[in-house]
Structure 1
Amino acid sequence: MSESAETAMLPAWDAVEGAERARELFATTFGGEAEGVWSAPGRVNIVGEHTDYNGGLALPIALPHRTYVAVARRSDRRLRLVSSAADGVAEVDLDAVGPVGTAGEVTGWPSYVAGVAWALEQEGLASGLPGLDVAVVSCVPTGSGLSSSAALSCSVAVAWDELAGLGLAGPADDPSDAGRADLVTACVRAENEIAGAPTGGMDQAAALRAREGDALLLDCRDGSVEHVPLDLAEAALELLVVDTRAEHSHAGGEYGQRRATCEAAAKVLGVPDLRTVAEAHVHSQDTLDHVLPRLADDEQRKRVRHVVTEIDRVEYVVARLRDSSRAPLHGATLENIAWALDASHNSLRDDYEVSCRELDLAVDAARGSWAHAARMTGGGFGGSAIALVDTRHLDEVTAAVAKAFADADLRAPAFLRAVAAAPAGRTA
């Protein structure tokens, strides 16, 4: 790569660097040595946006960019928390933690840590968890739609799991998917009820249940997963992530409004979730042409159309990836995947209305350069986009997006390479 493009790439720390940074912050803040360092990845979603809370399908990968936590047990039920991205030391009494809106509400980033203990105990997965001293460092960019919050909660979850002897995550060389699914449930409750972020579970599943070299096909209705081979390097392809620097937050009202609209539409249609509509659509039992007129509200019609067609696109892409396992990802297979990714962004922009100026600009610039396809990724209202690019044209696409932002007088975007990485676990 050229020097200018290389400097714009956000690097992923290796395990040694991440652990050293976390241990140094721990020692500087708390004194002494941490008992260990655990980490969890950010995630990028290839396709399947806003389907998780609708019982649908999603296809994320874990990123090599991770959050690292150096941790030591305490003899009491207190948390002492420090982050390289925040000032001061936060303290939380685990016995006083309660949901948002109650006297025990925990504010700010510590809620994502305290909420894990609360949820593990509420789920009956643990009792009387020890307090912790926790030092947090991360190379997952925050506010970028790459799930920095789930990386934090899941890294702490696997730390508590090991230190309290819960045995849910399993050893690194033989992870327990059933136990990790329980940890996903706890981390979702932590974010939903303690942090007040209405996430649907895809982020936590990617952080805890992904596998290196594979995309994770997640069935958000029953929590089952399938690992789908994703060897972009063999086909000389890159999945380029564009962090638009347009910050977003899952705790914001727009995300919750979309979820509420979908739930209201499902109630009108008399179905438990919009996945049911998608299944009927696929089997031609009840097409969208028949379903949408039953919704009097135009907003509901648009949201349902996105969710149903997005679930279809996940299945379509997975089928093409399975085909590519027998040959490199190129030709008609690549073109079909590219079509689905482009269609996903168009649907998110027009029907779900969660894109923004920066996301559209990144997508249009990548498409207008050498990218096979581009789309926003994550919850939207800011955050990141992805582009599927030939490795030989990575510089050109990166430069085209950067120029488009400069011409629009916007803050320069950042870039990172998305490679299917390992799930949460002990690092050192």
Structure 2
Amino acid sequence: MRTIREDAAAGVGAGVWRAPGRVNVIGEHTDYNDGFVLPIALPHAARATVRARQDGVLSLYSEQGQGPAVELDVRTLTPGGVDGWARYPAAVVWALREAGYPVGGADVHIDSDVPTGAGLSSSAAIECVVAAAFNDLHGLGLDRPELARLAQYAENAFVGVPCGIMDQMASVCARRGAALFLDTRDLSSRHVPFDIESAGLRLLVIDTRMKHDLADGEYAKLRAACARGCGLLGLPSLRDLDPRDLPAALARLPRDLVPLVRHVVSENTRVEQAVALLDAGEPRALGPVLTAGHLSLRDDYGVSCSATDLAVDAAVEAGALGARMTGGGFGGSVLALVDTGTALTVAGAVKRAFRRAGRRIPRIFAASASAGARRIT
């Protein structure tokens, strides 16, 4: 595939694009309930070298994959017909053609440093970088929210994961130094200052190395349960349940739905609290909001696990201002807000806790709010 990279870098109608992974500061599992979320884009990203070709062949190669390039005919792409990592870029090409855009084949060389299975949106990064590349190469004129919707549709309809749109919107719309305050109902958004480094803080990402996979069905079950709660309450979305009416609403629900509904409604409130604190220049006060979010994810929504709970507990005990899991749940990563001077102490304490528990040592790095998808050459 080296020739593809070299030819694309020099050829007509070719280039290199970049789309980042993301972490969600607060608002987990509210994106498919038309709620509010507050993600940032990571410095880690998927980079795609892409060159259009005229024979209808989609040639996909990943530096992180195993084996040769995957070659597909764009005219015969069908949902469920592609396995492994290649289903994500193939899904985007299929979605573009389904939407009526006359895109053809291409050589696509992907190199990503977004950890897979860590809840950091590695799949959305691949989808969004391919969507951005095809948009530019074919002059489609799609704006950023349209690119996000197309990438979401690709994952929903082709890959088969009923995800919300937060990951894709963060990947294409994020700005450096800001968090994206996103209303997932109408895709209205605002960039909120997130320059925590100047406040003497760091946001640590703790990859527990316990892989999660939204395609395993648990995510779909939660979404279906939330929809059932809406039906019983006569609401189009849990977003429409006023927090003041929550106690009365919970009294009308079967026992199994009570904690799920309580989490979604309270998480929307926590997003608004977080935004207000950032607008007021008080990022240190985010800590308790993060921890409260994790307790709700653990106790009410039931999507945490022993590894993410261990990381949160160890980080807070070592002096983190707050911590919570991020991503779809059942594994993945944890965010910890720490003072700059205690970052190494907290990281070391988390690693020791995992070692004592006989677990793989987590990967830990500091995350800064980065820019969204763009062409880089």
Normalised to the residue count of structure 2, the TM-score between the two structures is 0.96
Question: Is 1:134 equivalent to 2:108 in the alignment?
Answer: yes
Tell me which residue corresponds to 1:155. 129
Question: Is 1:293 equivalent to 2:251 in the alignment?
Answer: yes
- What secondary structure sits across from 1:32 in the alignment? helix
Structure 1 position 114, deviation (Å): 1.4
Tell me which residue corresponds to 1:96. 76
Structure 1 position 198, deviation (Å): 1.9
Structure 1 position 317, deviation (Å): 0.7
Q: 2 CA distance for matches of 1:410 and 1:149?
A: 26
Q: What are the ranges of 5 or more consecutive residues in structure 1 without an aligned counterpart?
A: 1-25, 169-178
Structure 1 position 29, deviation (Å): 6.0
Q: Which amino acid is the alignment partner of residue 278 of structure 2?
A: L
Q: Which amino acid is the alignment partner of residue 295 of structure 2?
A: N
Tell me which residue corresponds to 1:378. 327
Alpha-carbon deviations, 1:20-49, whole Å to 9, x = none? xxxxxx425677344211010000000000
Question: More deviation in 150-159 or 114-123?
Answer: 114-123
* Residues 36 and 72 in structure 1, CA contact (< 8 A), matched pair in contact too: yes
Tell me which residue corresponds to 1:9. none
Tell me which residue corresponds to 2:83. 107
Question: Is 1:307 equivalent to 2:264 in the alignment?
Answer: yes
Q: 1 CA distance for matches of 2:313 and 2:215?
A: 28
Structure 1 position 130, deviation (Å): 2.0
CA pair 250-270 structure 1, distance change in 2 beyond 3 A: same
Aligned length: 372
Matches for 1:32-111 after TM superposition, within 5 Å: 32-34=7-9, 35-86=14-65, 87-100=67-80, 105-111=81-87
* Residues 94 and 118 in structure 1, CA contact (< 8 A), matched pair in contact too: yes
Q: 1 CA distance for matches of 2:96 and 2:146?
A: 9
Give me the CA root mean square deviation. Answer: 1.3
* Residues 27 and 33 in structure 1, CA contact (< 8 A), matched pair in contact too: no
Q: 1 CA distance for matches of 2:276 and 2:324?
A: 19
Tell me which residue corresponds to 1:399. 348
Q: 1 CA distance for matches of 2:201 and 2:265?
A: 29
Equivalent of 2:361, from 385, 409, 412? 412
Matches for 1:274-353 after TM superposition, within 5 Å: 274-277=238-241, 280-281=242-243, 284=244, 287-296=245-254, 298-324=255-281, 329=282, 334-335=284-285, 337-353=286-302
* Residues 305 and 351 in structure 1, CA contact (< 8 A), matched pair in contact too: yes
Tell me which residue corresponds to 1:22. none
Q: 1 CA distance for matches of 2:197 and 2:331?
A: 28
Normalised to the residue count of structure 1, the TM-score between the two structures is 0.85
Q: Which amino acid is the alignment partner of residue 109 of structure 2?
A: A
Q: 1 CA distance for matches of 2:18 and 2:6?
A: 21
Structure 1 position 92, deviation (Å): 1.4
Alpha-carbon deviations, 1:269-310, whole Å to 9, x = none? 111111001xx22xx3xx2110001112x2211110000000
* Residues 238 and 417 in structure 1, CA contact (< 8 A), matched pair in contact too: yes
* Residues 206 and 216 in structure 1, CA contact (< 8 A), matched pair in contact too: yes
Q: 2 CA distance for matches of 1:77 and 1:300?
A: 48
Equivalent of 2:158, from 194, 203, 209? 194
- What secondary structure sits across from 2:108 in the alignment? strand
Percentage of matched positions with identical amino acids: 49
Tell me which residue corresponds to 2:120. 146
**Which runs of 4 or more aligned residues in structure 1 lie more than 4 Å from their structure 2 counterparts after TM superposition?**
28-31
Tell me which residue corresponds to 2:315. 366
Alpha-carbon deviations, 1:44-79, whole Å to 9, x = none? 000000000000000000001111111111112220
Alpha-carbon deviations, 1:151-182, whole Å to 9, x = none? 000001110001001122xxxxxxxxxx1111
Q: What are the ranges of 5 or more consecutive residues in structure 2 without an aligned counterpart?
A: none
Q: 2 CA distance for matches of 1:218 and 1:120?
A: 24
Tell me which residue corresponds to 1:173. none
Q: 1 CA distance for matches of 2:159 and 2:261?
A: 27
Tell me which residue corresponds to 2:146. 182
- What secondary structure sits across from 2:319 in the alignment? coil
Equivalent of 1:256, from 200, 203, 220? 220
Alpha-carbon deviations, 1:119-154, whole Å to 9, x = none? 223334x2x202110111111111100000000000
- What secondary structure sits across from 2:7 in the alignment? coil
- What secondary structure sits across from 1:115 in the alignment? helix
CA pair 427-30 structure 1, distance change in 2 beyond 3 A: closer
Q: Which amino acid is the alignment partner of residue 354 of structure 1?
A: V
Tell me which residue corresponds to 1:20. none
CA pair 88-29 structure 1, distance change in 2 beyond 3 A: farther
Tell me which residue corresponds to 1:11. none
Q: 2 CA distance for matches of 1:46 and 1:355?
A: 16
* Residues 59 and 70 in structure 2, CA contact (< 8 A), matched pair in contact too: yes
* Residues 5 and 49 in structure 2, CA contact (< 8 A), matched pair in contact too: no
Q: Which amino acid is the alignment partner of residue 99 of structure 1?
A: P
- What secondary structure sits across from 1:71 in the alignment? strand
Alpha-carbon deviations, 1:360-379, whole Å to 9, x = none? 00000000002000000111
Equivalent of 1:223, from 187, 206, 218? 187
- What secondary structure sits across from 1:75 in the alignment? coil
Structure 1 position 99, deviation (Å): 2.4
Alpha-carbon deviations, 1:97-134, whole Å to 9, x = none? 1223xxxx22221111111122223334x2x2021101
Q: 2 CA distance for matches of 1:30 and 1:348?
A: 43
Structure 1 position 96, deviation (Å): 1.1
- What secondary structure sits across from 1:109 in the alignment? helix
